[in-house]
C-alpha cells in the first residue's frame, strides 16, 4: 500500500488595501509549480501503474470530453475533483424574452468533491510572514465584462490596481505578461498596448488573438523610488487565475 505523506503549502502575507486596521494582512499561497495533464500522467507512472502513459491520457480525454458534452446538455456532473453544473447569467426583461449573447451567458459552477474538501482540511499551512516583494496587486478588472479577478476579454481593456506595480527597467524580461497555466507559456503585453503605468494602476489591452484557456498575471519590474533601476528585476505573480473564453 502506498504510504501517504502529509501535504503542506506555504503562504505569504500581503498588505490589505481594504483593511480597517493598521497592520491587517491577507494571505496568498506561494505557487511551487504549474502542472498540466502530461505532468500528471508522468507522476502517476512514476508511482507505478499497469497502465501506459498513452492509455492514461486517452482515458482522461475521453472522460473529460464526455463530461463536457453532458454538462452542455444540462446535466449536473460529478467528475474528478468536484461537481460541475451550468448557470445562466443575465437579466431577462419579460417572460417572452429570448436569449441574447450580448446580454446573457452561461458559466460553470464548481463545487469541490468530498475528497477535495477532506484534503483541504488535512493540509498543513506554513505562514512565512510578509512577502519579500514590494509589488502587490489587489484587483484586476476586465473592462468589457466589469468582472473583478475572474476573466480577461481578448481585445478588451484591463485595469490593474495595487501598490508599487509600476513597470520600469531596461532588462528584456521587464514588463507585464500573461502566463498560460497549462503550458507555462508567457505572453508579453507590448508597451504600445499599455495605456497607463503608475505605482497604483496599470491599464492595458489584452491581445486580440489570445487563445482560450486559463492565465495568471505576471509583473516584472526594476522600479525603485530613487529613479535608478534594481540590478535584478522583481517578479510578482498574481495568484488569481483568469479565464479567457
Looking at the structure, tell me whether residues 145 and 50 fall in a common domain. no
Domain that holds residue 166: 134-244
In a domain, 1, yes or no: no
Residue ending a domain, choose from 100, 127, 154: 127
Instruction: Say which CATH number the domain at 193 has.
Output: 2.70.50.70
Q: Please check whether residue 2 lies inside any domain of the structure.
A: no
Q: Residue 17 has what pLDDT? A: 62
Q: Among 189, 186, 187, 221, which residue's Cα sits nearest to residue 205?
A: 189
Residues 166 and 238 in one domain: yes
Tens digit of each residue's pLDDT (9 = 90 or more) over 117-171: 999 999 999 998 887 667 888 899 999 999 999 999 999 999 999 888 999 999 9
CATH number at residue 84: 4.10.520.10
**Total number of domains constituting the chain:** 2
Would residue 163 count as lying in a domain? yes
21 and 94 co-located in one domain:
yes
The pLDDT of residue 1 is 45
pLDDT at position 176 is 97
Residue 8's nearest CA partner among 141, 177, 125 is 125
My answer on whether 116 and 164 are in the same domain is no
Q: What is the DSSP string of 135-198?
A: -EEEEEEETTT--BSSB--TT-EEEEEEES-----SSTT-EEEEEETTT--EEEPPGGGEEEE-
56 inside domain = yes
**Within a domain: residue 3?**
no
Residue 71 and residue 27 in one domain: yes
Domain's final residue, options 127, 147, 171: 127
pLDDT band at 63 (very low <50, low <70, confident <90, very high): very high
CB count, 10 Å around CB of 236? 20
Tell me: do 150 and 101 sit in the same domain: no
Whether residues 12 and 122 fall in one domain: yes
Predicted confidence band of residue 2 (pLDDT cuts 50, 70, 90) = low
For residue 36, is pLDDT > 60? yes
Q: Tell which wins on pLDDT, 171 or 22.
A: 171
- Which of 127, 162, 194 marks a domain boundary? 127
Amino acid at each position: 500500500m502506498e504510504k501517504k505523506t502529509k501535504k503542506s503549502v506555504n503562504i505569504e502575507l500581503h498588505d490589505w488595501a481594504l483593511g480597517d486596521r493598521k497592520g491587517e494582512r491577507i494571505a496568498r499561497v506561494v505557487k511551487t509549480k504549474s502542472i498540466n495533464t502530461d505532468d500528471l500522467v508522468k507522476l502517476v507512472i512514476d508511482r507505478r501503474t499497469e497502465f501506459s502513459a498513452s492509455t492514461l491520457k486517452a482515458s482522461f480525454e475521453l472522460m473529460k470530453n464526455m463530461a463536457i458534452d453532458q454538462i452542455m446538455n444540462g446535466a449536473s456532473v460529478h467528475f474528478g475533483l468536484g461537481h460541475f453544473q451550468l448557470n445562466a447569467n443575465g437579466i431577462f426583461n419579460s417572460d417572452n424574452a429570448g436569449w441574447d449573447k450580448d446580454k446573457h451567458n452561461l458559466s460553470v459552477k464548481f463545487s469541490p468533491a468530498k475528497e477535495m474538501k477532506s484534503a483541504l482540511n488535512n493540509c498543513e499551512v506554513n505562514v512565512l510572514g510578509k512577502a519579500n516583494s514590494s509589488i502587490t496587486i489587489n484587483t484586476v478588472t476586465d473592462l468589457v465584462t466589469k468582472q473583478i479577478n475572474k476573466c480577461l476579454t481578448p481585445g478588451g481593456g484591463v485595469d490593474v490596481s495595487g501598490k508599487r506595480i509600476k513597470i520600469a527597467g531596461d532588462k528584456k524580461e521587464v514588463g507585464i505578461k500573461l502566463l498560460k497555466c497549462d503550458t507555462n507559456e508567457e505572453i508579453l503585453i507590448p508597451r504600445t498596448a499599455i495605456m497607463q503605468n503608475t505605482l497604483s494602476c496599470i491599464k492595458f489591452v489584452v491581445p486580440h488573438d489570445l487563445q482560450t484557456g486559463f492565465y495568471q498575471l505576471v509583473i516584472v519590474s526594476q522600479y525603485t523610488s530613487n529613479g535608478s533601476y534594481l540590478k535584478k528585476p522583481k517578479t510578482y505573480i498574481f495568484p488569481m487565475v483568469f479565464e479567457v473564453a
